[in-house]
Structure 1
Amino acid sequence: MAASTRLRIAVALLCWLLAATPGLGQVGTLTGTVRDSVTQAPLELASLFLANTTYGASTTAKGEFSLPNVPVGQYDLVISYLGYKLYKRSVVVRPGPQTLTLLLTPSAQQLREVVVRPNPNREADYQRFVQAFLGQSTFSRQCRIRNPKDVYVDYDSDKNELTATSPTFVQVDNAALGYRVKYYGLKFTQNFREQYVVFYGWPVFEEMKARSERERRRWAANRDQAYRGSLTHFLHSIYTSQVVPAGFLVQKMRIVPNPKFPRADSLAKALRLARRNSVFSPADQDSLARWVKVPRAFSMLYTAPRPLDSLRRVQPDSGRVWLRFRDYLQVTYQKEAPDPSYSTPRPVSAAAAAVLPKGQLSTLVLLKPEIEIQKNGQLTDPLGVFTDGYWGFEKMGEFLPLDYAPVSSAL
């Protein structure tokens, strides 16, 4: 089966580095004050939250805050306040109360005049950013960025790269899941030459108010659907030894480089250069169309399902579990069909199509020997894996907070 030449999407959310490990019924309370690091003055109405969760609060006139009933575990505590640098700190929530004194550093640019430079390509570039950031699924099409003027988009023609940042946050209202997400510290990169997308930051989730009981039930059902078949669901099924009952088929895949690709790639680049220099003939067009179709590599799929022990390492005395496997994995979620907007790569032959399972097909690559899986299905180092296929297709439309608990008993 030839490797797909589709755009490979690598979505790396730095907020997953939280490695939150909620305890079973154990909760703690974070309290304290937020102050100016220079004057020690309390800061009122500072936005304080645990990244990638629904836990957040604003400080009082005395700079005080309280975050009660937080599941024990490790989180990124983030504070945003106008005129100050974005504050980030790793905290471990333990059972019972904890008191913190948090000092914010004034921004060196808070007294400078804000200068907005015109960008004639901004609208076209912004729309490309929106499409890559929000995604194109049915749920993603129900997402809206509410503060587009706070998104700074730039295109570098030399690198063929699109970048986006925000000095404050990017607010995304997800009408499909009923979440309002404020994405602080956004760093977005889309490289068209290397064909990848990476974005990360520190988002906070807020429950939107349902207009009716019917809408509340729709949001609950959609959240359940977004969780089913997700990477988090798959990793949780490995942790709990429920891969097959959860609906996943895991198969080994090997990628073999195509020896003809380097020459084909060089010829294709030469033909593109000729086209830019206006020395491009109709015959060259046919040649370019032929050479760009030469696959970089071939993938070989092993049809036998992978046993659970080949996917993980378990430490019996502690219950800790590590994701560990060789080569590539093709992971198929068989209990749900792909989104209607998803374009499934076509196999190169009828024989290849016959062995492909039905469902949501994703590829998982481990970039280091092993990574620990937490109880909630998150990885201690999420940047240590690469995903493609259906998991690369799902974006903000299916984005759930770490503290989301699926309602389906089978999950």
Structure 2
Amino acid sequence: MKLFRLFLVMIGLVAINYVAQAQGKITGVALDSVTREPLAFASVFLANTTQGETTTDVGKFEFKRVPPGTYDLVGSYVGYRLGKQSVTVTAGGTQQVTVLLAPTGNQLAEVVVQPEPNKPEEYQEFSKLFLGGSTFSEQCHITNPDDVRVLYDAEDDELSARAKNYAQIENDALGYRLKYYGLEFNYDKGSRSVSYYGQPVFEEMKPRDEAQRKLWEANRLIAYKGSFMHFLRSVYRNRLRTEGFMAQQVRVIINNRYGQTDSLRRMLLERHPDGSNLTKAEKDSLSLWSRSAPIYATLNPAALPIDSIRRASADGKRVYLRFTGELQVTYFGEAPDPKYGKPMSSLGTPPKGTTYPAKRQVSRLRLQGKQAEIQADGSLLNPLDVSNGEYWGFEKIGEFLPFDYTPPTPATGASSSPPTRP
């Protein structure tokens, strides 16, 4: 019996050692970029994760358990600009990093000009677009609104927002406190496109009781299932269908006749600006032309095989998302948020004899180049390589999870189906 127990202990030690070896370490120091003096008690964190540290009195820091991958290591200190450095961590390896932070200048000698207060309607519009309109987004709030500057450019018809140091968001649905450093938010009202970028760090909030802890755990799983991060992890691991996703090719077609029909439509409206004295044929023409567009899309009903959207390097260490045109991605594991407010229908017609389940989320993807590199944690090496829309465009800060989030593993005999969205 003792021998058997010793054997089990040895197995446990091997397993623990394997986990430790599967991770890496980052050590370093934060310095003033001009004087090269160490910065004591500066904040240093890995962007988009829950890993953050405070430097010692001699500016040193250490991240002991970091999964392999490439990260933005960010340093923040009062009176200094953000310092950012890309760091690649390997399994069992240690990376030594020096983070340089540039001072903003002699602030005591400067005349401080207070910006004008945000216009309430512009701030509310920014807040709605940034936090989102989902059930979880309604439980998010920015706790330092005075540090966020919102501006509207009437000439470009664009709303933008920047944050002094960071914007702090508390997500009471997921139990995260989020500090969004270097926020750059833009909303083009003409194209109705929203983009935001920065270096956020997550902090887990303390639940008031066990019931709230379980609720946060369940809500995080809901936010994860079907998310863009879930999709990218599925592509990386070659488990697209197993994880409940289907990818289909969207063909975007340019309507070469649009320019001609649009000029005819304008000419007809110039002759009859109030719509009077139009013949039946002219009314029919206007109705037809109003439905035409410069581009339109068709959907190939067949599911794309994984090899047509996933490419791995020869050594298998790098994985890329690749496709032409646009990609429609459907997730069949969860119903959309009740606040989505749009019919969750796919383009085109499904194959004969096939019906789409009612519980599905449909999103669209477009590559900015030929391909985008995916990391094991479901992040993109360059976040700007892919733009998304429809359901993924609807999900915002309310569903935002750190890249080191790991969904719970169902216990033996327990149901593996995700909880339902409230």
Please give the range of the TM-score, normalised by the shorter of the 2 chains: 0.7 to 0.9
Tell me, yes or no, if the aligned pair for 1:347 and 1:353 is still in contact at 8 Å. Answer: no
Structure 1 residues 63-82: aligned runs within 5 Å: 63-82=59-78
User: Is the 1:250–1:329 contact (alpha carbons within 8 Å) kept by the matching residues of 2?
Assistant: yes
- Number of aligned residues: 382
* One-letter amino acid matched to 1:52: N
After superposition, the Cα gap between the structure-2 partners of 1:170 and 1:219, relative to the gap in structure 1 and judged at 3 Å, is same
Residues 264 and 292 in structure 1, CA contact (< 8 A), matched pair in contact too: no
Q: For residue 328 of structure 1, what is the aligned residue in structure 2? A: 326
TM-aligned CA deviation for residue 313 of structure 1: 2.1
Q: What TM-score do the two structures reach when normalised by structure 2?
A: 0.80
The match for 2:53 is 57
Q: How large is the RMSD of aligned CA atoms in angstroms?
A: 3.4
Q: CA deviation at 1:180?
A: 0.6
Contact map agreement 1:265 1:291 (CA 8 A) in 2: yes
1:165 aligns with 2:166: no
Unmatched segments (≥5 aa) in structure 2: 1-18, 277-282, 411-415
CA separation in 1, counterparts of 2:395 and 2:238? 25
Q: Aligned pair in 2 of structure 1 residues 271, 26: CA closer, same or farther (>3 Å)?
A: farther
- Alignment pair present for 1:402 and 2:399: no
Matched residue, 2:42: 46
The answer (yes or no) to whether the contact 1:25–1:71 under 8 Å persists in 2 is: no
> C-alpha separation between the residues in 2 aligned to 1:113 and 1:102?
29
Work out whether 1:251 is the aligned partner of 2:252: no
Alignment of 1:226-375 (within 5 A): 226-259=223-256, 261-262=258-259, 294-315=292-313, 317-345=315-343, 357-358=356-357, 359-375=360-376
Displacement of 1:361: 0.5
Deviates further, 76-85 or 299-308: 299-308
**Compared with structure 1, are the counterparts of its residues 87 and 328 closer, same or farther at alpha carbon in structure 2 (3 Å cutoff)?**
same
How far has the Cα of 1:118 moved from its partner? 2.4
Partner Cα separation in structure 2 for residue 382 and residue 348 of structure 1 = 26
Conserved 8 A contact 1:51-1:204:
yes
- Give, in whole Å, the separation in 2 of the partners of 1:348 and 1:71: 37
Aligned with 2:24 (options 22, 28, 32)? 28
Question: Among 173, 177, 182, which residue is 2:179 paired with?
Answer: 182
Deviation at 1:405, TM superposition (A): 1.1
Check conservation: 1:34, 1:42, Cα contact below 8 A.
Answer: yes
1:399–1:83 Cα change, 3 Å: same
The AA in structure 1 aligned to 2:55 is T
Amino acid at match of 1:387: N
Q: Identity over aligned residues, as a percent?
A: 46
Aligned mates of 2:123, 2:351 — CA distance in 1: 38
Q: Return the alpha-carbon distance in structure 1 between the equivalents of residues 370 and 82 of structure 2.
A: 34
Greater C-alpha Rg: 2
* Secondary structure at the counterpart of residue 305 of structure 1: coil
CA, structure 1 residues 317+67, in 2 after alignment: closer, same or farther (shift >3 Å)? closer
2:197 aligned partner, one-letter code: Y
Query: How big is each residue's C-alpha offset from its partner over 1:347-367, in whole Å with a ceiling of 9 and x where there is no partner?
Result: 799978998834100111223
> What code does the residue aligned with 2:246 have?
L
Which deviations, in whole Å up to 9, do the C-alpha atoms of 1:104-155 show, x marking residues without a partner?
Answer: 2211363323212325x62111111011111111111111100000001100
Distance 1:268 1:137 in 2: 39
Output the TM-score relative to the length of structure 1. 0.82
* Cα distance in structure 1, aligned partners of 2:346 and 2:308: 29
Seen in structure 2, the aligned counterparts of structure 1 residues 259 and 214 have a Cα distance that, compared at 3 Å, is: same
Per the alignment, do residues 345 and 260 of structure 1 end up closer, same or farther by CA in structure 2, a change over 3 Å counting?
farther
- 1 or 2 for the larger relative contact order (CA 8 Å, sep ≥6)? 1
Q: Which one of the candidate residues 141, 146, 151 is aligned to 1:149?
A: 146
Deviation at 1:324, TM superposition (A): 2.0
User: SS of the counterpart of 2:406?
Assistant: coil
Give the AA of the match of 2:46.
L
Q: Secondary structure at the match of 1:48?
A: strand
> Aligned pair in 2 of structure 1 residues 32, 363: CA closer, same or farther (>3 Å)?
closer
**Deviations 1:248-269 (Å, cap 9, x if unpaired)?**
1222221223456546777999
Match of 1:139 in 2: 136
Per-residue deviation at 1:307?
A: 1.4
1-side partners of 2:218 and 2:104: how far apart?
43
After the TM superposition, which of the residue ranges 29-38 and 378-387 deviates more from structure 2? 29-38
- Could you tell me how far apart the structure 1 residues matched to 2:268 and 2:43 are? 54
Deviation (angstroms), 1:30: 2.7
Using the TM superposition, give the Cα deviation of residue 78 of structure 1 relative to its aligned residue in structure 2, in angstroms: 0.7
Secondary structure class of the residue paired with 2:300: strand
Distance 1:128 1:290 in 2: 35
Paired residue for 1:199? 196
**Structure 2: distance between partners of 1:142 and 1:288:** 46
Provide Cα deviations, 1:331-350, integer angstroms capped at 9, x if missing partner: 11011111101122587999
Identify which range, 157-166 or 227-236, moves more after superposition: 227-236
Letter in 2 for 1:28: G
